[in-house]
Amino acid sequence: MRAAFDAPIQASASLLDRIIGCGHPVLVVFETPGCAPCESLGPTLEKLAREFQDRVLVVRVTDSAEGWLAARYHLAYVPTLVFCRGAAEHSRIKGNPGALAIRAHLEFLLTGEHPPDHAEGPRHTLTARFGGPPRDAAPRALLLAGS
C-alpha cells in the first residue's frame, strides 16, 4: 500500500534527511512563524500538493531559524524553496514567486525539460539563532595584545 500525500507534509528538521533521502522528488519549503511571505505561500502549496500528489512530496519545515539548520542548508531568507531529486538539490527559489513559477520548477524537477526562468519573490531575511539568546556584553578577545 502506498500513501498519497495531497497536502503539504509538516516536518521537523530531524525528519528532513529521511524525507529527502527517500529518492522521491521533493519540494522543501523552509519558513518561520510570523513571516508574511511564508504565510501567503500556504494556499499555493496546498494546491500544488494536490496537483502533484503522486509525483512530488511537498514538505514544510517551520523551524528554519534554528542556527544549525540555517547553516546546513545555506538559508539566508524565508521562505526558501528547495527542489530535490535523487536526494540531491536540483534548484532553489528565494522568496514567494507565486504558483506559476513554482509549478514551472516542479515540472522541470520531474522532466528535466524546459528549464524555468529564474524566480524570486517577497521574502524576509532570516535571523538564525545559534545556542542561547544573544549576549549584551562585547565579545572578549582571544589573544591579548603584547602577550
| CATH number where 73 lies | 3.40.30.10
Identify the helix (H) or strand (E) that includes residue 96.
Answer: none
pLDDT tens digits for range 84-137 = 999 899 999 999 999 999 999 999 999 999 999 999 999 988 876 666 555 554
Reply yes or no on whether the pLDDT at 28 is more than 90. yes
User: CA gyration radius for the chain?
Assistant: 18
**128 vs 51, higher pLDDT:** 51
* pLDDT the model gives residue 68: 84
The answer to whether residue 26 sits within a structural domain is yes
* pLDDT the model gives residue 144: 43
CB 60 within 8 A of CB 79: no
The answer to whether residue 50 sits within a structural domain is yes
The answer to whether residue 140 sits within a structural domain is no
Helices H / strands E in the chain, number of each:
4, 7
The answer to whether residue 13 sits within a structural domain is yes
Say how far apart CA 50 and CA 17 lie, in whole Å.
23
pLDDT tens digits for range 62-81 = 887 778 888 889 999 999 99
The answer to whether residue 138 sits within a structural domain is no
Domain count, the chain: 1
Q: Does residue 81 sit in helix, strand or coil?
A: strand
Of 108, 13, 107, give the one whose Cα is nearest residue 61.
13
CB 9 within 8 A of CB 60: yes
C-alpha cell belonging to residue 71:
547553516
Beta bridge partners of 124: 78
Range of the domain at 71: 9-125
The answer to whether residue 20 sits within a structural domain is yes
* pLDDT the model gives residue 128: 66
pLDDT tens digits for range 32-50 = 888 999 999 999 999 999 9
The answer to whether residue 93 sits within a structural domain is yes
